Chain A
Amino acid sequence: MLTSNILKGVAKGFPLKINFTKVENASVDYNRDFIIRVMQRIEYDALRGAVTDLGLHESLPETISDSTQQNEEFLKKMHKVLLEYEVEEGELVCPETGRKFPISKGIPNMLLQETEVS
């Protein structure tokens, strides 16, 4: 799910909405320092949106303060959401154009058609 947070559509196209048909949940070792570091580069609202898109029952606070970012429980939740959930099949939808980018076997296909390339 981390990758979905750093991808965008054709022009400005961010954040991409996620439609899923298959989501995998794998266990990944928790690395606190990495999560803290990554949190500084994440678009948090987009991540919340993605979590909603996937229908995950993780309640994420609306806003995060500096203290939230140090909170162990929050960090563990971020770890789960960023690294343990993966969309295996589905699509990413561009908010500007509605263009759908398929995700197949966990790989998002962001390649553009001839006609989209100006």
Chain B
Amino acid sequence: MFGFRESMIIERKPDQDPFLLCTFSNIDHLKLYSSRSVLLKSAYEYWTHGSSLIDVADKLTISSDWRPQLHETWRILVHGFRKQFTQPEKIQRIDAFSDRLKIKNKFCLNNKADCSVGLFESYEQGLIEQPKEVFVGRWICDGARHLIDKYDVRKRYFIGNTTMDATLSFVMANMGQCQPNHITLDPFCGTDTRLGGILLACAELGSNVVGSEFDWRVLTAKAKPTKANTKNLSRNPDEMMHRNFSDYGTLNRFLGVVGADFAYSPWRPTFQFDSIVTDPPYGIRESSQHKSRRRTDKADDDEENPVAEKYDLTNIYGDLLNFANVYLCVGGRLVFWMPTHILTYDESLLPTHPCFILFSNDEQQLNRTVSRRLLTMIKIRESNNNEKAQVNEKLFSNFRDLYFTPNTKIWEQLNSNNADTDSSAVSKKENS
């Protein structure tokens, strides 16, 4: 995205551990990369690694670059993977380490230290006597995990019962390469990520965002607020999206939301978005029917018997691809979730389109039988001849398996990630 794909070479991928070893040709690239990576805790300049603290300390003597430089104040940060260190244990390691290395530099115990040395002990599951590996290096920068905290759903003023959690929203926005001067669309901004959860992340990363939503109940304040202490406030969804963007300082990039049926797109076909990032309805909880329903501004929609053909959920993915084919610019990304029944899943089930390539397919397992996949597709060319998406027959039966899966709680999980910590789930329990 920043134009430096060739700059980063991965030397070693995480393997049941959280360590990624890579080389960047330019340290500024690393910093740029880290500035928006919510899955990256921090980046350290790799010095060496070994099988124990002593081993590593001895190896460090090989190079004079692998220590704090002359006149630098320093400190040691001890991290354990699969082991929690107590404070005394950390101090013991710090002392052993600095003694062995005979480093004379002055200690500085807070983040004003010129050189923060990171000492990482990685353990095997269940074997906490000896570390499997020990890494050491100099701290360069942190990742963007502060964004997760900033956008924590629990802190947000208005949320809905399907608000996408902060981490995943940012992962989606990154997969979509949301960036300044882009325009990103979420065509299902209300159903899945009520009040713009995904769009908030996209806007934070610089994109200008547009949403569309077909459920008029969401758009005209018929749905009840989910957060416990907002129950008594009257609720105007656009004001709420406004308020959310305004609270995060990204109101400038909120272009608006439109009431629209995805099946009957209101966008002029000569306009193209830079990215489409969305979580389409899963069709069980929110009875996703083809929106050829009548819309009234008065009476509660619940009282009406909504008409219309049952809209097979599976079609939505083909429709989404066809939609993206028209409304996404070449090079633009389509990012979306798709639930799958684990046992009968394989990659050939995924919908395809001749103008798109599948860039990534990341699975989030929700329970033993169900997972959902975050799919990123890139449009590689304009269509000549109105080419259409292909949806594999097997996908339909995979979804049918989903419908009959015995665990009904999964639908709540599919629609509101992380039911344990999400306060919207807590409010739901209060309401029911």
Chain A proximity mask over B248-262: 1 for CB below 8 Å, otherwise 0 = 000010011111110
CB-CB under 8 A from B291, the residues of chain A are: 111
Majority secondary structure of chain B interface residues (helix, strand, loop or mixed)? loop
Are A3 and B294 closer than 8 Å at their CB atoms?
Answer: no
Taken together as a complex, chains A and B put the C-alpha atoms of A38 and B273 apart, in Å, by 10
Are B238 and A106 closer than 8 Å at their CB atoms?
Answer: yes
CB of B236 within 8 A of chain A?
Answer: yes
CB-CB under 8 A from A33, the residues of chain B are: 180-181
Name B181's contact: one of A7, A31, A102, A111 (CB within 8 Å). A31
Q: In the complex, what's the smallest C-beta–C-beta distance from B239 to chain A, in angstroms?
A: 7
Residue among B237, B258, B293 with max Cβ neighbours from chain A (10 Å)? B258
Q: Which of B258-292 contact A (CB under 8 A)?
A: 258-261, 264, 266-272, 291-292
Are B181 and A34 closer than 8 Å at their CB atoms?
Answer: yes
Taken together as a complex, chains A and B put the C-alpha atoms of A49 and B216 apart, in Å, by 29
Taken together as a complex, chains A and B put the C-alpha atoms of A102 and B307 apart, in Å, by 22
Q: In the complex, what's the smallest C-beta–C-beta distance from A86 to chain B, in angstroms?
A: 7
CB of B295 within 8 A of chain A?
Answer: yes
CB-CB under 8 A from A8, the residues of chain B are: 266-269
CB-CB under 8 A from B219, the residues of chain A are: 107, 109
Taken together as a complex, chains A and B put the C-alpha atoms of A35 and B82 apart, in Å, by 50
CB-CB under 8 A from B294, the residues of chain A are: 113-114
Name B259's contact: one of A28, A31, A111, A113 (CB within 8 Å). A111
Chain A proximity mask over B207-242: 1 for CB below 8 Å, otherwise 0 = 010100010100110000000000000001111000
Taken together as a complex, chains A and B put the C-alpha atoms of A114 and B263 apart, in Å, by 13
Chain B residue at smallest Cβ distance from A33: B181
Are A111 and B261 closer than 8 Å at their CB atoms?
Answer: yes
Q: Which of A12-41 contact B (CB under 8 A)?
A: 14, 28-29, 31, 33-34, 37-38, 41
CB of A43 within 8 A of chain B?
Answer: yes
CB-CB under 8 A from B268, the residues of chain A are: 6-8, 14, 43
Taken together as a complex, chains A and B put the C-alpha atoms of A3 and B256 apart, in Å, by 7
Interface residues in A, total, Cβ within 8 A? 31
Q: In the complex, what's the smallest C-beta–C-beta distance from B202 to chain A, in angstroms?
A: 14
Are B270 and A112 closer than 8 Å at their CB atoms?
Answer: no
CB-CB under 8 A from A108, the residues of chain B are: 258-259, 266
Are A107 and B257 closer than 8 Å at their CB atoms?
Answer: yes
CB of A56 within 8 A of chain B?
Answer: no
Taken together as a complex, chains A and B put the C-alpha atoms of A111 and B259 apart, in Å, by 6
CB-CB under 8 A from A107, the residues of chain B are: 219, 237-238, 256-259
CB of A64 within 8 A of chain B?
Answer: no
Q: In the complex, what's the smallest C-beta–C-beta distance from A105 to chain B, in angstroms?
A: 5
Are B272 and A110 closer than 8 Å at their CB atoms?
Answer: no
Q: In the complex, what's the smallest C-beta–C-beta distance from B283 to chain A, in angstroms?
A: 19
Given known pairs A108-B259, A112-B261, A114-B307, the reply for A34 and B266 (CB within 8 Å) is no
Chain B proximity mask over A81-118: 1 for CB below 8 Å, otherwise 0 = 00100100000000000000010111111111110010
Are A34 and B208 closer than 8 Å at their CB atoms?
Answer: yes
CB of A2 within 8 A of chain B?
Answer: yes
Are A2 and B259 closer than 8 Å at their CB atoms?
Answer: no
CB-CB under 8 A from B237, the residues of chain A are: 107
Name B293's contact: one of A104, A109, A114 (CB within 8 Å). A114
Are B216 and A109 closer than 8 Å at their CB atoms?
Answer: yes
Name B292's contact: one of A31, A37, A106, A117 (CB within 8 Å). A117
Are B252 and A28 closer than 8 Å at their CB atoms?
Answer: yes
Q: In the complex, what's the smallest C-beta–C-beta distance from A73 to chain B, in angstroms?
A: 21
Binding site for A on B (CB under 8 A): 180-181, 183, 208, 210, 214, 216, 219-220, 236-239, 252, 255-261, 264, 266-272, 291-295, 297, 307-308
A–B pairs, 17, beta carbons within 8 Å: A10-B264, A29-B252, A43-B268, A43-B270, A106-B238, A107-B257, A108-B258, A108-B259, A109-B216, A109-B258, A109-B295, A110-B258, A110-B260, A111-B259, A112-B261, A112-B292, A114-B294
Given contacts A2-B256, A7-B258, 15 further A-B contacts (CB under 8 A): A7-B268, A8-B269, A33-B181, A38-B183, A41-B272, A107-B219, A107-B237, A107-B257, A108-B258, A109-B295, A111-B261, A112-B261, A114-B294, A114-B308, A117-B264
Which 7 residue pairs across A and B have the least CB separation, nearest first?
A110-B266, A109-B259, A8-B268, A117-B292, A6-B271, A110-B260, A34-B181
